[in-house]
Amino acid sequence: MPATPPAVIRRIVYLGTPELAVVPLRALRDAGFDIPLVISQPDKRRGRGSGLQPSPVKAAALDLGLPVSDRTADALEVDADLGVVVAYGRLIRLEVLERLAMVNLHFSLLPRWRGAAPVERALLAGDERTGVCLMEVAEALDEGGIYRMQERAVGPSDTLDSLRSALVEMGTSMLVDALERGLGAPTPQVGEPVYAHKIDPDELHLDPTRPAVLLDRVIRLGGAWVTFRHKRLRVWRAEVVADGPAPGIIDDGVLGTGSGGLRLLEVQPEGRQRMPATAWLNGARPTLDDRLG
């Protein structure tokens, strides 16, 4: 059984890795919590031809003067009341959880979208609402009870970046408030679990035979692509319109799809920088014989 959090929490081990986990780390430090250790994933190459680089959380921790490790077992070597997990990216062994209670800030309305890509999956599925949960860390993936939960509507113009940023801000405030006031007892998750598997690169391919509303969700994830004259064309921004040409055809800046059309707003030809779609259209001059796919 995982350990139970104490009533008063002042000393925290923080576990996180990507950029989105930096904001909660800094907020906890600013709120006066003592952080004797930060645990993040090991350094790795993060750019073509570069050497080993620290994770964003490790870099932020070092900037704050906090000790850092890449071993979860080291959480047991410091005096701490609680472990706080935010997008750490690895399961934590039961023998660690049995000795140090941990909570996790998870960016979905559990039990919907357990797993690695909850915000991405909420966007792709067209969820009208999502949110953030502060939950107990259990041995099984994202199955712990819920201490706090807040909801947020998913707007039609929300991108992965904008939605994730809003959830991080909301979740960070909820986390700090919960630790200052006391966690209390968690509530078991209710409902049918749905799992948020990582996004496969092929899922970012825009198949023009699909409806425009579904393709728009893919575009809002970032990095969506389609082929044009045997090269990749990334589509960074577009808007859904009621009518369009045949699927795969561009006419007057509108890409035809299986239902409706997509007016291209910002694109990136292979080997070039992002640019307004109008600039690309003026240079590429697609004809009705060109078919994107």
Positive or negative: CA dihedral 175, 184, 142, 109: negative
Assess if residue 20 is contained within a domain. Answer: yes
**Same domain membership, residue 235 and residue 114:** no
Assess if residue 290 is contained within a domain. Answer: no
Chosen domain end from 196, 215, 231: 196
**What was the pLDDT predicted at 289?**
87
Q: How far apart are CA 92 and CA 85, in angstroms?
A: 10
The label of the residue with tokens 């035809």 reads 256
Residue 66 Cα to chain centre, angstroms: 25
- CATH code of the domain in which 272 resides: 3.10.25.10
Assess if residue 98 is contained within a domain. Answer: yes
- 140 class by beta-carbon count within 10 Å (0-12 exposed, 13-18 middle, 19+ buried): exposed
**Same domain membership, residue 250 and residue 192:** no
Look up the domain containing 46 and give its range: 11-196
> pTM for the full model?
0.93
Q: How far apart are CA 269 and CA 253, in angstroms?
A: 15
Assess if residue 96 is contained within a domain. Answer: yes
**Same domain membership, residue 186 and residue 269:** no
**Same domain membership, residue 221 and residue 122:** no
- 41 class by beta-carbon count within 10 Å (0-12 exposed, 13-18 middle, 19+ buried): middle
Going by C-alpha positions, the residue among 81, 107, 101 that lies closest to residue 172 is: 107
The label of the residue with tokens 């039990």 reads 111
Tokens of 193: 């679990």
From residue 160, give the alpha-carbon distance in Å to each of 17, 112, 175, 212: 18, 17, 22, 18
Assess if residue 292 is contained within a domain. Answer: no
**What was the pLDDT predicted at 44?**
86
Q: In this structure, what DSSP letter does residue 37 have? A: E
Number of domains observed in the structure of the chain: 2
The label of the residue with tokens 């240079």 reads 283
**What was the pLDDT predicted at 52?**
85
* Tens of each residue's pLDDT in the chain, 293 residues: 788 998 899 999 999 999 999 999 999 999 999 999 999 999 887 666 668 899 999 999 999 999 999 999 999 999 999 999 999 999 999 999 999 999 999 999 999 999 999 999 999 999 999 999 999 999 889 999 999 999 999 999 999 999 999 999 999 999 999 999 999 999 999 999 999 999 999 999 999 999 999 999 999 999 999 999 999 999 999 999 999 999 999 999 999 999 999 999 999 999 999 999 999 999 989 988 889 88
